[in-house]
Structure 1
């Protein structure tokens, strides 16, 4: 990208000077040796004594016909103080002040200082990407890099500060702020967008923004303001984001009969920001109006960069119109250079996912989500896919995992979306009460979410039909309208809207909350959109059995949410739990030999014992014999789950712990405390207390060890952030289950003393 440091103009003087210093030859003899005039050697020596080797590294010389520095500064400040200014209007103002300069002279000055002459093929919100390198910038940059690598940071910064406008580079990010001028700090933090934590980024940018306001540098305000607004949007700061976009809009607002075409980049990105701000403030029709303005602005451009097309597609995703978003992402993909195509392929794969064409694309491998570290969003997609594939337990596990990766700025949307998936998964297993309880527990987050709040309230409550009709015909996102249509009972119209807007997975996420609509349409033979994998789930097929095993204490069993009075032998209990944990859904199987080796080691009648045990379990669980069968597969015998779903409290314990720790990570201590309490509440006593087979002993040790460790983590974390009395109650409960735990005993003593 840059010329080599070593060139003839630099090497010759240094070689001559080194010869003179190292050999002891006179100036005249040295000049004869290098075939140059002796006065030249004299000048070089004088320059070397004054500046050292660095004086020969820069070969840049200011052109003789360039505008004077003072006039240049005045021209630049005209543009800074009024970004709307055109070249002709600037010339008129300068003439009135007695400064005569050509239009080309003004434009060239603006170009050198990064106010014009952007590379049209690389237009980007990160403005340093589209500023071309000038000869002056290249040469001074090379000189500064040489100094920086030699350890002269202050001198390197001084040379960088002398460059009128510095394009994107990796050197400026390594130089401390105190050495950099305001313009260099602006360029540095423009480049650091998405590369440092957003709260830190916003704080730094706000400081620079205020400095620009004090110095009336409004063009620079546009450069940093569009990225500051982007960071606020990512953080979910609706009001601050909207206020920032309004400030930038006011800067761009015409105040005379002139408006510079050079501001297309900023005007377009601010319009994109206005569209997102409208959606964030729940004005979706306003978002569409802004989209139309963007398209009108683009219509007059001969060349449109891929990034700008993708930005328009992104705004369409904010209003949940994925069909139109697909059109713009495709245009971006077709016009993008080869090295950038993967980004747009990733965006398109998300659209394909929303269309419901899951087999065509693996959204998690192709998208840029992983590169941005957005593991929370990719796990969210995977969880929805698992639910659609008829694997509710997997959906719950994946969605809970996504909380662990949620960043503070994503928390409201991620928590709301995750708990909607968990509630939907519980609903598919016929556990509607548990589902509603989950959703009510995250009211705080859902009301602060971009759109999940309204959807969750429609799922949890049952508003009057007049209100639902207003939502369907009003200024709301398509998914909110779909939820309202399902609540009204208009399944066909809800599906038609989901299909038209490419919201099929989202529609399928809501369907389990309204099973009567699906069952009614199945009976009429008119069902649309729900895959067979979901139709096999208990909520849509009442013949399917769901067993809820509560074994964190004495075993309690529920069959389709009804309590079963059972009296099983200890070995039968261990066997049932073992099988339920390993084969929790239809189609899963366990090798018969695994059971025989564990429960009847060395017995010649192990298979016969297993047969009798299965008879007792079928009888106790009121289980049809064909749902639990021993089959010969590939020369081995397997016990196969032929149509039962098992859920258990140990899995719930793990999910609550993951949620608690995720809330703690982002500073939501009260919610972390609440989820820890819910996790410990599941324990009613010592699990596997009367079981002595190898598997049961290992499981008891594993569960009690986990309980002890988590109780210690909980107590230490919430001694300062929680109610000590609640912490004490938890530790007392754990000590009853694990009476020989010395660490729990010492923590309990410590807390008791603090309370007293």
Structure 2
């Protein structure tokens, strides 16, 4: 029951109540029962969403107070539900994949049904109707269908999601140009929360392009937007980017300050993604044994084949390879099956 409730995005108690009602009264009993909350009207839903978009640091209690002042009566649970549906609230599931997790939500049967409908119209080349349906969905799970709809038909949020799916596949200068354009448009519309994601994506692109000096204004802008935000996952990502940049600029004293902040936040972020990235920071300091501890810890808990392959490569390189244990090193490299062959060839060359 708990697993099914998690997939549906509701509490297990709510699901249990629905099942009991269905057993007693059938479908009509479930639909008519007063204990099941009515959906918040769409216009009010959008106002609740905009509050969080415009003020990322806003708490549920303060949001309720602001809504009460303009005559809108919504419970704290109702506000939380809207923010969750729009992907504006972080939860345990969202903390597992870094900044992309702040954009996409977990798939539910209802979302899957809507995406199937979108696919039908895409197959008919009726992109306008497909875009109309997908644009009206509050937040999406990661879905390749977005890439099949021309950008001109998509909202800014959908264009940002589409761009994330293209990350690593299009040249970084082109990616940077697109994400900067979307960021400016979002800022002009007051969508600050979504623009925070674009800032992180800009930092990533500039890092790959080694345009380190250009990251300074991005950091300044991002820090202002994050002021007052309580989300520890976002702050970890911010300090990670700051520490990485300081290392590249050889500002090691400053880098150590941010690495320490990451370590403090790590206690409240017990997920493979953060263990791996903290391990990466330790390698910048030459702390390979400590990094190996976090890589192994992440490897034991991770389930994604692509990430497991990446971790296997890091364990082989920073662990067994540096210790001269080449038999274990080669054995670990065989587990890195999802990493591009060129990288594996380079790693094998080092071992041989």
- TM class by shorter chain equals 0.7 to 0.9
Distance of 2:329 and 2:210 partners within structure 1: 29
Structure 2 counterpart of 1:198, from 172, 178, 183 = 172
The alignment status of 1:307 with 2:273, answered yes or no, reads yes
The alignment status of 1:93 with 2:66, answered yes or no, reads yes
1:258-314 superposed Cα distances (whole Å, 9 cap, x missing partner): x44xx232221111101101112211122222111111112234xx22111101111
Aligned equivalent of 2:156: 182
CA contact (8 A) 1:349 1:362 kept: yes
Q: Which secondary structure state, in structure 1, belongs to the residue aligned with residue 56 of structure 2? A: coil
CA 1:121/1:78 → structure 2, altered by over 3 Å: closer, same or farther? closer
Structure 1 counterpart of 2:203, from 225, 229, 235 = 229
Aligned equivalent of 2:309: 342
Distance of 1:354 and 1:143 partners within structure 2: 52
Q: Which secondary structure state, in structure 2, belongs to the residue aligned with residue 101 of structure 1? A: coil
Which one has a larger percent strand, Structure 1 or Structure 2? 1
Q: CA deviation at 1:319?
A: 2.6
Unaligned runs of 5+ in 1: 3-62, 387-756
Distance of 1:296 and 1:111 partners within structure 2: 27
Distance of 2:222 and 2:210 partners within structure 1: 19
Distance of 2:202 and 2:331 partners within structure 1: 29
Aligned counterparts, 1:603-614, within 5 A: none
| Most deviating of 218-227 and 271-280 | 218-227
Aligned counterparts, 1:337-416, within 5 A: 337=303, 339=305, 340-352=307-319, 353-362=321-330, 365-366=333-334, 371-372=339-340, 375=343, 379=346
Aligned equivalent of 2:80: 107
Q: CA deviation at 1:96?
A: 2.1
Aligned equivalent of 1:77: 50
CA contact (8 A) 2:64 2:74 kept: yes
CA contact (8 A) 2:85 2:139 kept: yes
The alignment status of 1:264 with 2:232, answered yes or no, reads yes
The alignment status of 1:277 with 2:245, answered yes or no, reads yes
Aligned equivalent of 2:140: 166
Q: Which secondary structure state, in structure 1, belongs to the residue aligned with residue 99 of structure 2? A: coil
CA contact (8 A) 2:309 2:337 kept: no
Distance of 1:355 and 1:94 partners within structure 2: 61
Aligned equivalent of 1:296: 264
CA contact (8 A) 1:91 1:101 kept: yes
Unaligned runs of 5+ in 2: 1-6, 8-35
CA 1:82/1:299 → structure 2, altered by over 3 Å: closer, same or farther? same
Q: CA deviation at 1:378?
A: 5.2
CA contact (8 A) 1:343 1:367 kept: no
RMSD: 2.7
* Structure 1 segments of 4+ aligned residues over 6 angstroms from their partners: none
The total of aligned residue pairs comes to 316
Distance of 2:301 and 2:171 partners within structure 1: 32
Distance of 2:40 and 2:171 partners within structure 1: 42
Aligned counterparts, 1:571-610, within 5 A: none
Which one has a larger percent helix, Structure 1 or Structure 2? 2
Aligned equivalent of 2:16: none
The alignment status of 1:153 with 2:156, answered yes or no, reads no
Q: CA deviation at 1:180?
A: 0.7
CA 1:192/1:367 → structure 2, altered by over 3 Å: closer, same or farther? farther
CA contact (8 A) 1:310 1:328 kept: yes
Aligned equivalent of 2:286: 320
CA contact (8 A) 1:350 1:367 kept: no
Distance of 2:184 and 2:248 partners within structure 1: 25
CA contact (8 A) 1:193 1:201 kept: yes
Aligned counterparts, 1:475-554, within 5 A: none
Q: CA deviation at 1:173?
A: 1.2
CA contact (8 A) 2:312 2:336 kept: no
Distance of 2:334 and 2:218 partners within structure 1: 33
Distance of 1:230 and 1:331 partners within structure 2: 25
CA contact (8 A) 2:279 2:292 kept: yes
CA 1:276/1:369 → structure 2, altered by over 3 Å: closer, same or farther? farther
Distance of 1:351 and 1:217 partners within structure 2: 41
CA contact (8 A) 2:312 2:333 kept: no
CA 1:199/1:362 → structure 2, altered by over 3 Å: closer, same or farther? farther
Distance of 2:146 and 2:79 partners within structure 1: 28
CA 1:71/1:306 → structure 2, altered by over 3 Å: closer, same or farther? same
Distance of 2:337 and 2:209 partners within structure 1: 16
Distance of 1:307 and 1:369 partners within structure 2: 19
Q: Which secondary structure state, in structure 2, belongs to the residue aligned with residue 239 of structure 1? A: helix
Distance of 1:121 and 1:211 partners within structure 2: 27
CA 1:355/1:222 → structure 2, altered by over 3 Å: closer, same or farther? farther
Aligned equivalent of 1:564: none
Q: Which secondary structure state, in structure 2, belongs to the residue aligned with residue 171 of structure 1? A: helix
Name the larger-Rg structure. 1
Q: Which secondary structure state, in structure 2, belongs to the residue aligned with residue 126 of structure 1? A: helix
Aligned counterparts, 1:685-696, within 5 A: none
CA 1:203/1:373 → structure 2, altered by over 3 Å: closer, same or farther? farther
Distance of 1:222 and 1:92 partners within structure 2: 25
Aligned equivalent of 1:476: none
Distance of 2:224 and 2:197 partners within structure 1: 14
CA 1:357/1:305 → structure 2, altered by over 3 Å: closer, same or farther? same
CA 1:351/1:200 → structure 2, altered by over 3 Å: closer, same or farther? same
CA contact (8 A) 1:78 1:90 kept: yes
1:679-729 superposed Cα distances (whole Å, 9 cap, x missing partner): xxxxxxxxxxxxxxxxxxxxxxxxxxxxxxxxxxxxxxxxxxxxxxxxxxx
Structure 2 counterpart of 1:124, from 79, 82, 98 = 98
CA 1:133/1:383 → structure 2, altered by over 3 Å: closer, same or farther? closer
CA 1:338/1:133 → structure 2, altered by over 3 Å: closer, same or farther? closer
Normalising to structure 2: TM-score of the pair? 0.81
Give the structure, 1 or 2, with the largest relative contact order (CA under 8 Å, sep 6 or more): 2
